[in-house]
C-alpha cells in the first residue's frame, strides 16, 4: 500500500503544532544547527582535513539532493559551482516565490513550520560561508512574510541568527524581501534582478551564471524552500542515510501538490519514485479517485509548464542506467513512478511537484486557453519569441475557445509553439509557455480541430443564410455569394 512518507511535513500537520519557536524547540528544533555548526574537522584517509563547512557540502553531495524548484538540478553540484576564490562575498537566496500554477507546497512550510526553513537555510549558509542571505517571498504571501519576519526575530533573539551564532563565531543575517507579483521573479536571475531593485528581466547565461556573477555581481546560491529544508535533514541523518529515502538518483521525499478533479486534493509528501501517478490520483491515501461518473482525461504532472499526459497514454521510457546500458520500456502513464528521471524520460517533468488532474467534464481547448492566458500575462517581454509568441498563442486559443476558431488554428499553434522553446529564449519561460501548447495540441488535436471546424461551419451557414435573405429581398440579382459557398461541413461531435 502506498503511503505518505513525512519528513519535511512531519510535525507541520500534527494537531497543536504552531509556527512559533517554542513549539519548534519542543520538537527538537535547532539541534541540527548546533550539530552542524560544531562539527569537528575530519581527517580523511588521504590526510586531507575537512572543515565543518566542507563536511556539510560533502554530505549534501552524497545525499543526491536535487533542487525542488522545478529543474531538479543537483544541489551539491550547484554549491560546487560557486566561485569561492573571487574574494567577493557569497550570497544565498531562498527562492520562496512559489508561483507555478498548481503548486502549493512551499507555503505549507512557510506558514506552518518556518523555523525548519530557517534552520536548513542557516546550515546552507554556514556550509557556503554566506554571511548575508535573503528570502525572496512572493508578494501574495502577505501572511507568510509576516510569519517569516516573526520567526527571524525569534531566531535572532535566541542566538540562532545574527552575530556569533550559538557562540561559534559564525555571523549571518537573513532578510525577507517581498516580490510584487510576477511569476518571472521565480526564475533565479530574474529574482536576483528584482532583489537588486530592477525590473526582473532574466539575465543571459553566459556570462551571468549566479554561481559566479549573481546578486550584485557576486557568487550567489539560489535554492528553493523545500530544498533548503532538506539540508537540515541531510545534516541530521547524514547524506548516505538520506539517499536511502526514495530511489537512486531521486532521493529524499517530495511534496506533491495534487489539485484538479480529484476527491482529495492536497499537499502530500511521498518518497520520491515510490508512488506512481495512478496511485497519487486514485489511492484513498492520496487523491482518492475522480468524482462520480467522471473519466480521467489528462494529467499535468509538474505544474502547468510541464507537458501534459493523456489518459490511457502509453509512454516509452528510454533510460540509461547507472551501468550505462540503455533500457526501453513501455508503460501506461498511470504506472509511472513519480520522480525526476522517469517523468523526464517520459517526455515531461515532475517540475515543482504539482499534479493537476483533468477529467472529461472540461474541454482541453479551454484548459489550454486558460494556461496560455496565464503565460501571456506573465511573460516579462524581454526577448522576442516569448514576448510575442505567448500572447499570440493565447489570442488564438481564446478565439478558438470562444467559437471563432478555424481548423488550421491547431497547426498554427504547433508551429508557433515550436519557434519559442529549446534555447531560443533567455530563460526557461519560453519552454514553460510552449510545452503545454505543444503537448496539449498534439495529444488532443481532435478537440482543437473540431472546435475550429464547428466555428467554420457555423460561419459558412450564417453567410449562406444572409446571402439567401439578401437575394430574396433584391429580386433580379443572382444569389452569387450563396452559390459560391462550399457545402456546409459536417460537424464532428465534440467530446
Partner 1 sequence: MSAGSLSSNPAVTSAGSVAAPPETLRVRVNGKEVVVPRTMPDWQGRPAPTTMLQACEIAGVTVPHYCYHPKLPVAGNCRMCLVEYGTPALGPDRQPILNPDGTPRIVRSPRPAIACATPVSPGMEIYTDTPGVRAMRAGVLEFLLINHPLDCPICDQAGECKLQEYALDYGESRSRFVEAKVHKPKAVLLGPRIVFDAERCILCTRCIRFTRDIVGDDALGILNRGSYNTIATAPGRAFDNNYTLNTVDICPVGALTSRDFRFQMRVWFLKETKSICPSCGTGCNILIGSRQGRIYRYTPRPNDAVNSHWMCDYGRLNYKWIHRPDRLQKVLIQGQPSTWERAMLEMVQRLRQATPGTVAIVASARLSNEELWLLARLKQHFRALSDAVPREGEGDHLLLHPDRNPNSQGARLTGICYTEMGSVLPRILDQVQKGTVRTLLVFGEDMTRHGFEPDLLQKLDTLIVSDVLPNATTALAHYLLPGSAPAEKSGSFTNVQGRVQRFHAAIAPPGDARPEWEMLAELVEKVTGQRLPSHLPGLFDAMAAAVPAYRGLTWAGLGDLGVSVPV
- For binding to partner 1 (CB under 8 A), which residues are involved? 182, 199, 201, 204, 206-207, 376-385, 387-392, 395-396, 399, 412, 419, 422-426
* Min dist. Cβ of residue 381 to partner 1 (A): 4
* Min dist. Cβ of residue 396 to partner 1 (A): 7
Nearer to partner 1, 173 or 418 (CB): 418
Residues 6+ apart with CB under 8 A from 401: 363, 365, 366, 369, 451
* Min dist. Cβ of residue 189 to partner 1 (A): 12
Q: Do residues 431 and 459 lie in contact, with contact meaning Cβ atoms separated by under 8 Å?
A: no
DSSP letters, 189-206, are HHHHHHHTTS--PPPPTT
* Min dist. Cβ of residue 427 to partner 1 (A): 11
Q: Do residues 482 and 469 lie in contact, with contact meaning Cβ atoms separated by under 8 Å?
A: no
User: How distant is the alpha carbon of residue 478 from its chain centre?
Assistant: 61
Nearer to partner 1, 68 or 203 (CB): 203
Q: Do residues 423 and 388 lie in contact, with contact meaning Cβ atoms separated by under 8 Å?
A: no
Nearer to partner 1, 355 or 371 (CB): 371
Nearer to partner 1, 186 or 273 (CB): 186
Nearer to partner 1, 54 or 418 (CB): 418
Query: What is the arrangement of strands in the sheet containing 130-137, beginning at the earlier edge strand?
Result: 162-165, 170-178, 130-137, 90-96, 220-224
Using CA atoms, how far apart are residues 464 and 471, in angstroms rounded to an integer? Answer: 10
Nearer to partner 1, 182 or 349 (CB): 182
Using CA atoms, how far apart are residues 454 and 400, in angstroms rounded to an integer? Answer: 10
Residues 6+ apart with CB under 8 A from 382: 201, 202, 426
Nearer to partner 1, 58 or 412 (CB): 412
DSSP-derived pairing of the beta strands 326-332 and 250-251: unpaired
Using CA atoms, how far apart are residues 25 and 413, in angstroms rounded to an integer? Answer: 54
Burial of 277 (0-12, 13-18, 19+ CB in 10 A): buried
Nearer to partner 1, 356 or 396 (CB): 396
* Min dist. Cβ of residue 62 to partner 1 (A): 23
Q: Within a 13 Å sphere around the CA of 453, how many CA atoms are in the beta-carbon half?
A: 13
Q: Do residues 123 and 232 lie in contact, with contact meaning Cβ atoms separated by under 8 Å?
A: yes
Strands (E), 386-488: none
* Min dist. Cβ of residue 371 to partner 1 (A): 15
Burial of 71 (0-12, 13-18, 19+ CB in 10 A): middle
* Min dist. Cβ of residue 383 to partner 1 (A): 5
Nearer to partner 1, 74 or 398 (CB): 398
* Min dist. Cβ of residue 78 to partner 1 (A): 20
- Whether the ω angle into residue 206 lies within 30 degrees of 0, i.e. cis, is yes
Nearer to partner 1, 39 or 344 (CB): 344
Residue linked to cell 500500500: 1
DSSP-derived pairing of the beta strands 314-320 and 326-332: antiparallel
Amino acid at each position: 500500500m502506498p503511503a505518505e512518507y513525512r519528513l519535511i511535513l512531519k510535525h507541520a500537520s500534527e494537531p497543536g503544532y504552531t509556527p512559533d519557536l517554542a513549539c519548534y524547540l519542543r520538537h527538537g528544533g535547532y539541534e541540527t544547527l548546533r550539530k552542524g555548526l560544531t562539527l569537528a574537522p575530519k581527517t580523511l584517509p588521504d590526510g586531507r582535513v575537512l572543515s565543518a563547512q566542507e563536511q556539510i557540502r560533502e554530505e549534501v553531495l552524497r545525499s543526491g539532493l536535487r533542487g525542488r524548484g522545478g529543474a531538479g538540478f543537483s544541489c551539491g553540484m550547484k554549491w560546487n559551482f560557486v566561485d569561492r576564490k573571487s574574494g567577493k562575498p557569497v550570497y544565498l537566496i531562498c527562492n520562496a516565490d512559489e508561483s507555478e500554477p498548481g503548486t502549493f507546497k512551499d507555503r505549507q512550510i512557510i506558514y506552518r513550520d518556518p523555523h525548519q526553513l530557517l534552520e536548513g537555510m542557516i546550515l546552507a549558509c554556514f556550509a557556503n560561508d554566506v554571511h548575508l542571505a535573503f528570502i525572496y517571498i512572493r508578494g501574495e504571501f502577505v501572511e507568510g512574510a509576516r510569519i517569516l519576519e516573526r520567526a527571524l526575530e525569534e531566531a535572532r533573539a535566541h542566538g540562532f541568527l545574527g552575530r556569533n551564532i550559538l557562540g561559534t563565531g559564525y555571523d549571518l543575517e537573513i532578510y525577507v524581501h517581498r516580490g510584487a507579483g510576477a511569476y518571472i521573479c521565480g526564475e533565479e536571475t530574474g529574482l536576483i534582478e528584482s532583489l537588486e531593485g530592477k525590473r526582473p528581466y532574466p539575465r543571459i547565461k553566459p556570462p551571468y551564471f549566479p554561481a559566479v556573477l549573481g546578486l550584485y555581481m557576486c557568487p550567489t546560491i539560489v535554492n528553493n524552500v523545500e530544498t533548503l529544508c532538506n539540508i537540515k535533514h541531510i545534516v541530521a541523518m547524514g547524506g548516505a542515510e538520506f539517499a536511502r529515502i526514495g530511489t537512486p538518483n531521486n532521493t529524499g521525499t517530495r511534496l506533491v501538490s495534487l489539485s484538479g478533479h480529484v476527491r482529495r486534493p492536497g499537499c502530500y509528501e511521498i518518497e520520491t519514485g515510490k508512488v506512481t501517478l495512478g496511485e497519487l490520483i486514485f489511492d484513498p491515501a492520496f487523491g482518492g479517485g475522480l468524482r462520480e461518473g467522471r473519466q480521467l482525461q489528462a494529467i499535468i504532472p509538474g505544474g502547468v509548464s510541464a507537458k501534459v499526459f493523456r489518459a490511457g497514454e502509453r509512454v516509452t521510457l528510454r533510460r540509461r542506467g547507472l551501468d550505462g546500458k540503455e533500457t526501453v520500456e513501455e508503460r501506461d502513464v498511470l504506472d509511472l513512478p513519480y520522480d525526476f528521471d522517469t517523468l523526464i524520460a517520459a517526455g515531461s517533468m515532475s517540475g515543482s511537484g504539482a499534479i493537476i488532474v483533468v477529467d472529461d467534464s472540461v474541454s482541453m481547448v479551454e484548459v489550454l486557453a486558460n494556461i496560455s492566458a496565464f503565460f501571456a500575462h506573465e511573460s516579462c517581454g524581454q526577448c522576442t519569441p516569448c514576448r510575442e509568441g505567448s500572447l499570440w498563442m493565447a489570442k488564438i486559443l481564446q478565439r478558438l475557445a470562444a467559437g471563432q476558431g478555424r481548423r488550421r488554428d491547431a497547426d498554427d499553434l504547433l508551429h508557433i509553439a515550436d519557434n519559442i522553446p529549446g534555447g531560443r529564449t533567455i530563460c526557461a519561460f519560453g519552454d514553460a509557455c510552449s510545452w503545454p501548447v505543444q503537448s496539449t495540441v498534439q495529444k488532443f488535436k481532435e478537440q482543437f480541430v473540431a472546435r475550429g471546424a464547428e466555428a467554420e461551419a457555423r460561419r459558412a451557414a450564417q453567410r449562406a443564410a444572409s446571402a439567401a435573405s439578401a437575394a430574396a429581398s433584391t429580386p433580379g440579382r443572382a444569389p452569387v455569394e450563396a452559390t459560391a459557398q462550399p457545402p456546409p461541413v459536417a460537424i464532428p461531435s465534440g467530446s
